[in-house]
Amino acid sequence: MRLYAAVAAGGFRRYATYRGATLAGVFTNTVFGLIIACTYIALWDERPHLGGYDQAQALTYVWIGQAMFAVMVLQLGGGFEADLMERIRSGDIAVDLYRPADLQVWWLAQDLGRAAFQFLGRGIVPMCVGALLFPLALPSDPLRWLAFLLTLLLGATVSFALRYLVALSAFWLMDGSGVVQMSGLVSTFMSGMLLPLNVFPGGFGEVARALPWSALLQVPADVLMGERGAAGALAFQGAWAVVLLGAGRLLQRAATRRVVVQGG
């Protein structure tokens, strides 16, 4: 456990060194939050209870999304996947497999360290700006905030598990950029980043809320706003984390049986 704690700390420190990128990310998320918030105000003025949210909840959802954008890597390219795919392509993955450490847990620890920094360094400021400028439906109950933090941890684990599966596709593909782009589009839409999944009608909405991407944003937002019970939300996220991490383990086992060094 000490090894993986050190790896997580290293992941935190790695992203903490990019101060300029962090400030740019804070500025970008704040600006996009303002644009989306104004759009939501116009939309909720026309449909005051769209998706079961009032306007304050809808605005809260906007700023939670901006705070969690980098934490959950709601567009691929901000996490470990590019590094892992390059190591697979170059053949350096063979060195990783000989290390006295589990490959999947190693990358998970590093990614959780990254997520912790992104939450503290890039997530809190946009949320505070939103709270200053708009009437948000934020809870006063500390237990709900604690439950929210737990959903962030499990959501980040689900996010890792999804991206780990994407990264492992490089064992079979010469260029995994197409898979990365497709996965990024699905993640952005199905997580509820564009619109809350609660506004989708009928069977499509039910399916969207049952898929693992909802664990990244929709579930934590609903827990924070009191729209979903913490126990059920954590069970949902935990179940998807176990399933997806297990799938990653199986795919890793199948891939490492047929490692092909491409180049080098």
Q: What is the mean pLDDT of each run of 10 residues along the chain (264 residues)?
A: 90 92 94 96 93 94 95 78 85 82 93 95 95 95 96 97 93 79 88 93 93 97 96 98 97 77 45
Q: How many CA atoms lie within 13 A of 204 on its CB side?
A: 8
Distance of alpha carbon 177 from alpha carbon 195, whole angstroms = 26
Domain of 120 in residue numbering reads as: 2-256
Q: How many domains does the chain have?
A: 1
261 domain residue, yes or no? no
**Cβ distance 230 to 223 under 8 Å?**
yes
Can you read off the two tokens belonging to residue 116?
Answer: 């912790």
262 domain residue, yes or no? no
263 domain residue, yes or no? no
Can you read off the two tokens belonging to residue 261?
Answer: 């060094």
251 domain residue, yes or no? yes
Q: Is the four-CA dihedral 161, 180, 183, 16 of positive or negative sign?
A: positive
What's the pLDDT at 261? 46
What's the pLDDT at 263? 45
**Cβ distance 194 to 144 under 8 Å?**
no
Place of tokens 């993986």: 4
Number of helices followed by number of strands (H, E) in the chain: 12, 0
DSSP H/E element including 41: helix 19-46
Distance of alpha carbon 242 from alpha carbon 160, whole angstroms = 12
What's the pLDDT at 195? 92
